[in-house]
Amino acid sequence: MQDIKSLTITELSDKLAELGQPKYRASQVFRWLSRGARGFDDMSDLPKKLRDDLASAFSLTPPVMAQSRTSSDGTVKYLWKLADGETVESVVMEYKHGTTVCVSSQVGCRMGCKFCASTIGGLVRNLTAGEILDQVIFSGTEAQKQISSVVLMGIGEPLDNFDNVLRFLRIVSSPEGYNLGMRHITVSTCGNPESIDKLAGYNLQLTLTISLHAPDDETRSELMPVNRTSGVAAVMDAAKRYFDNTGRRVSLEYALIDGVNDGEEKANALAGLLRGAPYHVNLIRLNEVPERGLAPSGNGAVLKFTNALAARGVNFTIRRRLGLDIDAACGQLRRRSKDKESGTMPYFGLTDRGKVRRTNQDVFGAKTLPGVTLLAVCDGMGGASAGEVASALALKTFLESAETKLSNAVVTAADVSAEFSRAVHIAGNAVLEEASGNAEQAGMGTTLVAAGVIEDSGEVVACNIGDSRAYKSAPSGITKITRDHSVVGEMVERGALTPEQARRHPRRNLITKALGTLQDEEPDIFNVSLDPGEYLLLCSDGLTGTATDEEIWLTVKAASGCEEAANELMQMALRRGAPDNVTVLLFQRGEVSYNG
């Protein structure tokens, strides 16, 4: 059957005329589709017979949200499962000017860019116009936001799926439907000159962004194989023609990659390439993909590069990297945590549903405040949907509550301890109230482990309820900070079980304390300190159920930073079957990184 979501209003009107329907019915149906109707029976103002006829003549297959990740900066990433089982990603980002969604145009990609995760598995297929539109509609619905801008910068090369992307642009901008103005849409491309010229011929008032990433053919061809068929000069000529035809300024994306394209000579070459042309350069440090072996530029290289551009009069912006703790860069499956705004004491987190569970009820988050960094992990329970609600609600409520009291530049361990106790009460009561007001969520709850690291002193205040854990990892060994509130954990404390026996015990998942079960549940509070170079690890029992404390310590000890340690811990859990959701969140005192 034909995909009704991929029809323009004119095409839909013609199709309905064939069914003997008046013209105004097309506008009704088109509005329902743009509002996110998941089935024809949702279209309540249509006659029953027409709804039945539509169901017989057309397919309407909205995507299923397989996973979602919310960043500490508010960015939300969604993984959508399509009708054929393939998956694509969209990312919702908050800016001062409104809410932007980044959408995918293909399942996979065949461009082969060396820095990108999307192309690792190659191109699977093109997305239909309806599948691209669904990402816009349902991302907004899930995030409960009004989408004000769309960027086609997710998985895939939009102009490699030219016809379907053009159809999407016409549908999403249709006044009868979603009605998003073309000036609020950005199309990003690797830069095939013929495709750019073809798009220019339609004179659409959208923004075209070209992924340049290097000013010379040798470097660009190494990074982007598509350049080998045309060259930088041909791409820039096509950009100039696009501006001449449409009057719309072209933006150039430039990811700064350590030792590859970030030298002063590259900056000067880029300035020479852009001399006198109406371009704007968007600079961003590379979003690292471990499989690619490329790293983002360091502080010094970024400063020298931007100084060189400024001296030559180049119009550029250093883009803020959003959603690092959820791995918001297109195509990456791991979740990364964002660099702190202050550029010091970074953290890095990953979460995975594991090898057995159908959904992921774990969440993690962080808040960077003037004097303290807050970190938290929650592991929900009570059924898939209820567990997800409980953990997400507890994390959000806990961090927001703690932030309101700990935003001063001078924070003591006593301040953090008192606030953690209060924030846990608030979060637990919020979960309890939610559960009592919804029969489907009755009995839901969540573990919580949290830590506050005081920046100046390295003092750590940790709290927990349940069996999610906090560890301190030093060169000399690992120390479990928190105490498990679980049946087997308490048996270990009494000497009735060894830690190894506990990991394999049939009752290992039974906890004796959780948020959402009692009013004003009291957490355990612990105080430790971190020396420079030492790690703080927060994790769910999905990790500790597959690895011993010593194995965790040896893995962290061998790593060169939070990201490598988190990836290695996650891979260890997954290699061992990961029967539960797995979350790891690491913090290392004393590292310094640049956040543009």
What the block records as the tokens of 489 is 């954990």
Note whether 72 and 337 are within 8 A (CB). Answer: yes
Q: What is the 3-state secondary structure (H, E, C) of 275-307?
A: CCCCEEEEEEECCCCHHHCCCECCHHHHHHHHH
Amino acid type, 286:
L
Give the ranges where 229-263 is alpha helix by DSSP (H).
232-246
State the Cα–Cα distance between residues 247 and 482, nearest whole angstrom.
Answer: 61
Note whether 536 and 482 are within 8 A (CB). Answer: no
C-alpha 37 chain-centroid distance:
25
State the Cα–Cα distance between residues 377 and 375, nearest whole angstrom.
Answer: 7
Burial 56-65 (b: 16+ CB within 10 A, else e): eebebbbbee
CA angle 309, 313, 314 (to 5 degrees): 55
Other Cβ atoms within 10 Å of 163 Cβ, number: 9
What the block records as the tokens of 589 is 């005192």
Other Cβ atoms within 10 Å of 493 Cβ, number: 11
State the Cα–Cα distance between residues 580 and 573, nearest whole angstrom.
Answer: 9
Other Cβ atoms within 10 Å of 6 Cβ, number: 21
Per annotation, catalytic residue among 109, 330, 463, 539: 330
The per-residue DSSP string of 207-219 comes to EEEEE---SSHHH
Number of helices (H), then strands (E), in the chain: 17, 24
Size of the chain in residues: 596
- Cβ contacts of 495 within 8 Å, gap of 6 or more: none
Note whether 188 and 253 are within 8 A (CB). Answer: yes
Other Cβ atoms within 10 Å of 435 Cβ, number: 22
Give the ranges where 112-207 is alpha helix by DSSP (H).
129-143, 162-172, 193-200
State the Cα–Cα distance between residues 190 and 389, nearest whole angstrom.
Answer: 39
The per-residue DSSP string of 471-504 comes to EEEETTEEEE-S---BHHHHHHHTTSS-HHHHHH
- Whether residue 89 lies in the annotated active site: yes
- Whether residue 400 lies in the annotated active site: no
State the Cα–Cα distance between residues 461 and 376, nearest whole angstrom.
Answer: 12
Note whether 339 and 594 are within 8 A (CB). Answer: yes
User: Residue 114 — left, alpha, or beta (φ > 0 → left; ψ -120 to 50 → alpha)?
Assistant: alpha
Where in the sequence numbering do the catalytic residues fall?
Answer: 89, 330
